[in-house]
Amino acid sequence: MGEPSRGKAPWRLLGRDQIVLCVLAALVLVVGGTHYVWSHLERPKPVRKLEPGQRVDYRVDLNKASEGELDLLPGIGPARAKRIVEYRQSHGPFKELADLTRVPGMNSAAVEKLRGLVTPDAAGEEPR
- pLDDT tens string for the chain (128 positions)? 455 555 666 667 778 888 888 999 999 999 999 999 988 887 777 767 667 766 556 788 889 988 888 888 888 889 999 999 999 999 999 988 888 999 998 888 888 888 888 888 745 444 44
**Please, what is the Cα angle at 102 between 75 and 96, to 5 degrees?**
85
Whether the model clears a pTM of 0.95, i.e. scores above it, the answer is no
> What element of type H or E holds 118?
strand 118-119
127 exposure class (CB count in 10 Å sphere: 0-12, 13-18, 19+): buried
CATH of the domain spanning 60-119, picked from 1.10.10.10, 3.30.1330.10, 3.40.50.1950, 1.10.150.280: 1.10.150.280
Phi, psi of 99 (to 5 degrees): -65, -20
Question: What residue ranges do the domains of the chain occupy?
Answer: 11-43, 60-119
Q: How many CA within 13 A on the CB side of residue 84?
A: 31
